[in-house]
Every structure is written in C-alpha cells, then in structure tokens.
Amino acid sequence: MAQIRLSFILLLFISSVAWAKHPAVRGRSRARAFVEFQCQATLYPDLCVRCLSYYLSNFTKTQTHEQLVNIALRVSLSRAQSTRAYVTDVAKQLKQTKAKDYQAVKDCLDQINDGVDQLTNCIKEVEEIKENGGSEFPWHASNVETWMSTVQSDASICINGFSSRAIGGKTKAMIKAKVINLEQVTSISLALFNRYAARYRAPHATGPKA
C-alpha cells in the first residue's frame, strides 16, 4: 500500500514538472512575473495585478510596456463605462421620482461622461505614439498624461459632490465604490504610462525600449 502511494506521489511530481515545462505555462509564468513587477510602480499594486492578470494570455509571447499600457487603459475605460451605466440608471430613477438627490447624481454623471471621453482619447493617442513616435512623442505623451489626470480629477469632483448631499446610503456607497475604483485603476494606468514614457524618452535615436 505504501509503495502504491509512493508511486502515485512520484507520478504527480513528474507530471507537474512536465506541465511546468510546457511553453504555454512558461509563457504565462513570465507574463505574470512581468505584470507583477511593473505593478510595483503603482500606488495600488495588488489591484493592478488583479486587473491585468486576466489578460496574461496577451503577454505569453512578448512582454512590452506598450502592451501593458494599452491593456491598462482599456481596463480603465471599461470601468468608466460600467460606472457610467450604473450612475445613468440611478439618475433616471431619481429624475422620475423628482428626488432631491437627482442633481448631485446628474453632476457626477457629467464627470463620468467626461472621463469616458478622456480615456477614449488616451487610447487613440497611444496608437498615434505607436504609429508616429519620434519627435511628436512629447506632444502625444503630454496629452495622455493630461487626460488621465483629468479623469482622476473628475472622479474626485464626483465623490466630493456627495459630501454635502443626503443621498441614500446604499446607492451613495455603490456609486462611491465604483468611482473610487475608477480613480484607482486610472491611477494605475497613468503610473504604467509614465513608466513607459520614461523609457521611450531615453535618447530616441536608438528607438523605444521594450
């Protein structure tokens, strides 16, 4: 019986070693290590890893800062869009009931709408960096940094708008949680972009670093 158990354990060990050597597993491990390392440069490393780990399959062949920035921006945009959808529904309900909290929610929705637009512009601008680069890089980079900072400011304005209003507890908590999350993931995107931009700004005659 003990010999059978030992043989079974040995078989599991051999299988796990063989699986670890599989190209897809090695690629995924390298990708996760890359993501975890880059996330340390952000204010929210754990959240950063959780957000980006879902996209590890995008990094199994190559791992570049440009890829990371593109994915991080799309995560931010997705959060902004889902937040907008939720706040839009709340605003509609409050408007129908003529609730006194409607204006606070409507003001917040205006900020979130602006954030969606800004993040959409950021994604397009990063594509311009990829296509043009070179001498135009500082201008593109400045636009991206300004727009992402604006998204964070918009989120703060939204949250502050509730401080003096007596909006319902659960609804207020849900909106704040979604907006704070949006602010945090955008902070992550900005930190990763700044890291990418710093590498790109190095003497560009040799091209952007990976």
Contact between 183 and 144 under an 8 Å Cβ cutoff? The reply is no
The one-letter amino acid at 100: K
> CB count, 10 Å around CB of 44?
16
CA distance 40 to 35: 9
Instruction: Indicate whether 187 pLDDT > 90.
Output: yes
The answer to whether the beta carbons of residues 31 and 67 sit under 8 Å apart is no
Q: What is the pLDDT of residue 100?
A: 82
Put simply, whether the predicted model's pTM sits higher than 0.95 gets the answer no
The DSSP call for residue 58 is G
CA distance 62 to 23: 13
Arithmetic mean of pLDDT, 195-206: 70
Which of 80, 111, 32 is CA-nearest to residue 184? 80
pLDDT tens column, 14-46: 444 443 444 444 445 888 999 999 999 999 999
Provide the pLDDT for residue 98.
Answer: 84
Q: Containing H/E element for 198?
A: helix 169-201
CA gap 147, 136 in Å, rounded? 17
pLDDT in tens, 130-149: 666 567 888 899 999 999 99
Q: Which pLDDT band, with edges at 50, 70 and 90, does 174 fall under?
A: very high
What pLDDT, in 10s, does the model give residues 82-121?
A: 999 999 999 999 899 888 888 889 999 999 999 999 999 9
